Chain A
Amino acid sequence: MIVAENLTKYYGSFPALKDVSFKVDQGEIVGFLGPNGAGKTTTLRILTGYIPPSSGTARVGGFDIRTQSLEVRKRIGYLPESVPLYKEMTVTSFLQFLATIRGVTGIRREDRIKEVIQICRLDEYSKSPISKLSKGYRQLVGIAQAIVHEPEVLILDEPTIGIDPRQVVHIRQLIKEYGQKHTVILSSHILPEVSQVCGRVMVMDQGRIVAVDRPENLAAGFGGPQHYEIEATGSEEKILALLQKIEGVLKVRVEGTGKTRRYLVESQTDRDIRDDLSSAIMEGGVRLLGLKSQDVSLEDIFLKLTTKEKE
């Protein structure tokens, strides 16, 4: 659906994007992840035809963004990061205007507006001026305008920034639902968001894509030691001895005081050793209160990937 080839963008002499290539298939939800200034917004703006690349090009649905911008823009719904809206307009008239300039008119326009107002749960506010809405509802209006013409590709720049948690959940759900039939690209620097919503993540840093994979593969491919946390009651020496006997255990650290303590186990292998851990402890006659594996979080991967270059 989207093919980007060697996209490069200079702002003056500053390279915001360096030779970025990627592909997004139809029906995928892809997340661009990276710190501020990584080039996420620049990439999205190039795809939406707002700014041209300095070199390289991209095709959306087979249309070239440089030479067939109008065709590309017909197929895209876009919510910029700053959520720009015409604040003096009411929600309905705003949606009417954007639907019209995107080619949705007549009865179909009115039906579709009713639909997106319902999807975005804006019914109560449909007649309110946008200036009266809270940040979260403005964000929803922003999403409503991006999907009002049912674009094949939905592009959202930081869609859940600065809004309350319930609305975040709602917006993520909206994105997932839209992504079932359409292609969605979003950018974020909120890692759990990307891992919850996206099927594939592209990690960007300093104008480059430094990693592309499914969120869980990114974690797995990261390698390194696995961590487990055990909560158990009993004598510390006995438990330590039991744990250290297990194959693959590298290090055990004890946390807490009193009868119940937490034991942080580091293992060498990729293999899940939770089974070994629990049976060892039970057999030793110790009371096991809790056991969980600490997944390598996307934060860890992210920090590792984005700080690597400087090392």
Chain B
Amino acid sequence: MRNIVAIAGKEFRGYLGSPSFYIIIALFLFITGYGFGWSPALFIESSIQGFLDWGSFFLLFLGPALTVRLFAEEEKLGTLELLLTAPVRDTEVVLGKFLAALGVFSVMLLLTLYYPLLLILFGHPDLGPMVSGYMGIFLLGTVFLSIGLFASSLTSNQIVTFVISSALVLFFWFIGEVGGMTGEGADRIFQLISLSTYFSDFGRGVIDNNGVIYYLSMVMVFLFLTIRSIETRRWR
């Protein structure tokens, strides 16, 4: 546990010390702010649907961007040798890094809390969809970060890492859309594994157990794969 905290703390400070992190935050706030402010949903139903739509879209880029360096950079600089020869378990390394990424993502989400705050101050919003919407975007981000972390553990090349994690993220986001072209049986399966299907429920104020379970199991699967990937890199 102490090791996880130490690694997470070190990575978290690493984010805060990196200029690109602030650019990502600024972009995130700009795009979600635009989405929130210009969405018809804001005026019609005083909801944060605009933020959720644009935010989830931006996450397709944010997840890979936040995680791309976590392992790839260490592998490239050789510092992974330092980390993996210290008496820490591979699981601790993976969880530490994951929690750091999750931490900065949470900070970014906290910074968007003024959208609902504005609504509460100046309108009469329905609180349910706001809470479930935030829960949805947090869970979605968690899934994307775990996918990005996994991709980062595969190679020392950050560009390759970014391509792999973007491909995975886009696949699981848009797979539901291709269903219409393939017939009913396949469509059902594609809908089931598509992250976007469940996400729209969250936005509507529905906390679907299946959605939560699916998102969390995706996180577990990718964290598990990351741990295995780090373990096997010792054997390569």
Which residues from chain A sit less than 8 Å from chain B, CB to CB? 45, 48-52, 70-71, 73-74, 76, 78, 80, 82, 84-89, 93, 97-98, 100-103, 105, 145
- A/B pair count, beta carbons within 8 Å: 66
Specify which chain B residues have a CB less than 8 angstroms from the CB of A98 in the assembled complex.
82, 86
- The list of the 7 closest CB pairs from A to B, nearest first, reads A84-B78, A84-B79, A73-B87, A74-B87, A100-B6, A48-B85, A82-B78
Shortest CB–CB separation between residue B193 and chain A, in angstroms? 36
Q: Is the CB of B82 within 8 A of A49?
A: no
Residues of B within 8 Å of A45, CB to CB, are: 81
Which residues of B are found within 8 Å of A97, using beta-carbon distances?
Answer: 6, 10
Known: A85-B79, A86-B79, A100-B6. A50 touches B88 (CB 8 A): no
Residue B7 lies at the interface, judged by CB distance under 8 Å to chain A: yes
B228 at interface, CB cutoff 8 A: no
Docked Cα-Cα span, A71 to B80, in Å, equals 19
Residue pairs across A and B with Cβ atoms less than 8 A apart, 16 shown, are A45-B81, A49-B84, A51-B234, A52-B235, A73-B86, A82-B78, A84-B77, A84-B80, A84-B81, A86-B10, A86-B14, A88-B14, A88-B18, A100-B3, A101-B6, A101-B83
A82 to B82, CA, bound (A): 11
Known: A71-B87, A88-B17. 16 other contacts (CB 8 A): A50-B84, A51-B234, A52-B234, A52-B235, A73-B85, A73-B87, A78-B85, A84-B79, A84-B82, A86-B10, A87-B77, A89-B13, A97-B6, A100-B2, A101-B6, A101-B83
Contacts of A52 in B (CB 8 A): 234-235
In the complex, which residue of chain B has the Cβ closest to the Cβ of A88? B17
User: Which residues on B are within 8 Å of A, measured CB to CB?
Assistant: 2-3, 6-7, 10, 13-14, 17-18, 77-89, 234-235
CA of A58 to CA of B89, assembled, Å: 20
Residue pair B82, A145 in contact (C-beta under 8 Å):
yes
Q: Write the nearest CB–CB distance from A185 to chain B, whole angstroms.
A: 14
Residues on the A chain within 8 Å of B84, using CB: 49-50
- Give the distance to chain B from A256, nearest Cβ to Cβ, in Å: 50
Query: Among the listed A49, A82, A105, which residue makes an inter-chain contact with B85, where contact means beta carbons less than 8 Å apart?
Result: A49
Given contacts A97-B10, A101-B6, contact A80 B87 (CB under 8 A): no
Q: Is chain A's interface secondary structure helix, strand, loop, or mixed overall?
A: loop
**Nearest chain B CB to A230 CB, angstrom units:** 51
Q: Do residues B86 and A80 form an inter-chain contact, with CB atoms below 8 A?
A: no
CA distance A102 to B6 in the complex (A): 10
With the chains together, A52 CA to B85 CA distance in Å? Answer: 12
CB of A105 within 8 A of CB of B86, answer: no
- The reply to whether B234 and A50 contact each other, CB–CB distance below 8 Å, is yes
Contact present for B79 and A102 (CB under 8 Å): no
| Whole-angstrom CA separation of A102 from B88 in the bound complex | 8
Give the docked Cα–Cα distance between A232 and B18 (Å). 68
A145 to B86 Cα, complex, angstroms: 11
B54 CB → nearest A CB, Å = 32
Judging by beta carbons under 8 Å apart, are A101 and B77 in contact? no
**Complex partner residue of A102 from B17, B80, B86, CB under 8 angstroms:** B86
CA–CA, A101 to B83, complex, Å? 9
A80 touches B81 (CB 8 A): yes
Q: Are A76 and B82 in contact (CB under 8 A)?
A: no
Interface-centre pick from B17, B86, B234, B235 (highest chain A CB count, 10 A) = B86
Chain A residues with CB below 8 A from B85, complex form: 48-50, 73, 76, 78, 80
Who on chain A is nearest to B7 by CB? A101
A67 to chain B, nearest CB (A): 14
CB of B82 within 8 A of CB of A105, answer: no
